[in-house]
A and B are shown apart, each in its own frame.
Chain A
């Protein structure tokens, strides 16, 4: 009942906006970026080119979050943000009509997903909120995104999921927070929350490795992930304990090893304000960027050593992806799209548009 109603609303929004897609310019083979945003009172997904121009706009019924993108870079799935229940499959060149689908009954999306098995499967992080457990929903792409099953995510609050270079193992960041959509995103289990990183074999659903931090860091929720050039998983965390604690928020994990945390200099750690909103690795695979919209800062780390490399100050900066002219491209809730890197020097990409609030994530879509 609930899901049908939301589903119908999504279809109506998409139908009403049928005029948007034909205006899209084919992006050809150059790289494009994907991001959710709020424009005026409307929520939408934007495909933007390297020069920062809109190539395609897909309307959403409410706030979007992140994306799963096919290996060809031709199709993507936009997910509703937590505790949303819709997802929209769309063609980046606007050649076909966007297609919406809803989460299963008693499940909602957490906003992230990946394609697997040569793009035959879509995997999405989801909340089994009545059962009080985290799952990853498995969808058959050829069957029109039919949900064919689910795996345990190995913890509560599975947020971002990334595929490892082997194409067979995914890593899920389980924030460990129990939530129920009746209470929005409110944490219902702060005293007992237990975040983990879980590696899942996508062929079997088996959890092949689980990583947890020391018990005193049980309120440090793994949320965002990126894989560096060596296949190491980098994570950005959000701290649910007292502000004064200021634990390290960034770290990395190599399969079979202990996780490593990197605090960086005190002023950087303080500026990150116990909150990482997004993690990205540059095109060379050697620099990691972690954004904190709360602190209005992006911090950079050397992927080889974990050394702090510098910061960029940008108010409400959150979306971060590999850049075109600089190591990273960063978006903000105040309409800014900039290119920047460890030196902190910033160049603007296109005109800032304060009617637009760029949402949490920015994705680079390479086009082979």
Chain B
């Protein structure tokens, strides 16, 4: 009896000392497996397929340029960008190896590196820029979605359909970029496939697993990915072009303004995050007293999605004072609120709260 009391006291003092309630073991059971099989794997495969499809469409266009083929390329590009935004928040493991995130999406780019470098490539004739293997050795800003967007939609892109020498070279560069993206996307899909060593580590945490020792470490990674993704959308994508003051708003500071894909990209980012959150199963595992957390998150996520649907005007107009701008500002506020709830209340409720210094240190 005395031992039992001593054990209880010890347990109580351990909780007091760490400030952390013991995590419910069932809470995160199979979390990595569920996330991989139900969200990450299909989403990375979709991205990989979309890249391969664009490469096919570009080969077709470059061989015999015409406007029908160009429309087809544009529609494939659209699919690729949207599928990217459904996985951009998975910024751990394979996404950070070999600078894959930056190779795909070199953003934010406040110094305009992509524009400068791509214009430089397109202004002359650089054989090494149209060879995907040699392109891989160049600046990552030349290899990603934004470089490809400029080639397909930027000044001089009409040369592609016209079939001028500049246009043919430009198409060849676009094709090389698309081939690079296809290769990188395939590496990502491979890493998350059933043969992928990273997927295995994420799916099966354990004492012998060097990367994830237990389910809590997987849960912490999932929470961090969501929080990082939300901050990226609000701070790195929306805020810079909407700006605090309307006179500083500039739609050209948005990624994908040339192709008109900015708002669809944000919609897909949010939709992806929502689906990922659903697949964590945190909602079902919360204690009754914590179910309001899920209720609040669901409500806010739905409101953001509905609001984004309402932005149907051109981006140039959406940033000016009026309903578009108001909606974008609301979205930023809602994303910050989602961020705070996930990082604070949800993380605590699922037993993976992070300290003041660990959360945001220098």
Contacts and interface: CB of A to CB of B under 8 A. Distances in A.
A83 B97 CA distance: 27
B19 A354 contact: yes
A10 B250 CA distance: 31
Interface stretch (A45-53, A201-209, A237-245, A252-260): A237-245
Given A191-B140, A315-B355, A333-B355, A82 B362 contact: yes
Interface string A314-353: 0111100000000000001110000000000000000000
Q: Which of A111, A275, A333, A358 has the most CB of B within 10 A?
A: A333
Contact of A81 (B17, B103, B362): B362
A59 interface: no
A282 interface: no
Given A180-B110, A188-B110, A315-B18, A277 B92 contact: no
B358 A316 contact: yes
A244 B108 contact: no
A334 B240 CA distance: 34
B263 to A, nearest CB: 21
Interface in B51-101: 92-93, 96-97, 99
Given A275-B361, A315-B18, A315-B19, A333 B110 contact: no
A316 B356 contact: yes
B210 interface: yes
B357 A188 contact: no
Nearest to A37: B356
Contact of B357 (A180, A191, A244, A318): A318
Interface in A101-142: 110-111, 132
Given A190-B102, A223-B362, A293 B108 contact: no
Nearest to A336: B17
A133 to B, nearest CB: 12
A293 B361 contact: yes
Contacts of B110: 180, 182-183, 188
A188 B211 contact: no
A357 interface: yes
B120 interface: no
A360 interface: yes
B138 to A, nearest CB: 11
Contacts of A241: 96-97
A360 B20 contact: no
Contacts of B235: 183-184, 186
A321 to B, nearest CB: 15
Given A182-B110, A316-B357, A318-B357, A244 B19 contact: no
B141 to A, nearest CB: 9
Interface in B204-263: 210-211, 235-236, 240
A363 interface: no
A132 B111 contact: yes
B109 interface: yes
A294 interface: yes
Given A82-B362, A183-B110, A184-B235, A357 B19 contact: no
A360 B362 contact: yes
Nearest to B232: A186
A290 to B, nearest CB: 13
B236 A186 contact: yes
Contacts of A359: 356-357
Nearest to B109: A188
A320 B336 CA distance: 32
A361 to B, nearest CB: 9
Given A188-B108, A241-B96, A242-B97, A294 B358 contact: yes
Interface residues of A, number: 40
Nearest to B239: A182
Nearest to B99: A191
A191 B102 contact: yes
Nearest to B211: A244
B13 to A, nearest CB: 12
A275 B140 CA distance: 26
A85 interface: no
Nearest to A316: B355
Interface string B295-332: 00000000000000000000000000000000000000
Contacts of B211: 243-244
A55 interface: no
Nearest to B360: A185
Contacts of A81: 362
Interface in A169-206: 180, 182-186, 188, 190-191
Nearest to B94: A242
Contact of B96 (A242, A333, A358): A242
A220 B357 CA distance: 19
Given A190-B99, A333-B355, A359-B357, A182 B240 contact: yes
A328 to B, nearest CB: 16
Nearest to B253: A182
A131 B18 CA distance: 44
Contacts of A317: 357
A293 B357 contact: yes
Nearest to B213: A270
Contacts of A360: 357, 361-362
Nearest to B110: A180
A183 B361 contact: no
A293 B236 contact: no
B99 A294 contact: no
Interface in A251-294: 270, 275, 277, 293-294
Interface in B168-205: none
A191 B102 CA distance: 7
A277 B361 contact: yes
Interface string B337-359: 00000000000000000111110
Interface string B99-130: 10011000011110000000000000000000
A111 B360 CA distance: 14
Interface of A: 38, 65, 81-82, 110-111, 132, 159, 180, 182-186, 188, 190-191, 223, 241-244, 270, 275, 277, 293-294, 296, 315-318, 332-334, 354, 357-360
28 contacts: A110-B362, A132-B111, A180-B108, A180-B110, A183-B110, A183-B235, A183-B240, A186-B108, A186-B236, A188-B108, A188-B110, A191-B99, A191-B103, A191-B140, A241-B97, A242-B93, A242-B97, A244-B210, A244-B211, A270-B210, A293-B361, A296-B358, A316-B358, A318-B361, A333-B357, A357-B357, A358-B357, A360-B361
Q: Identify the 6 closest CB pairs spanning chains A and B, nearest first.
A: A316-B355, A333-B356, A293-B357, A333-B355, A357-B356, A318-B357
Given A183-B110, A293-B357, A315-B355, 5 more contacts: A184-B235, A188-B109, A242-B92, A293-B361, A315-B18
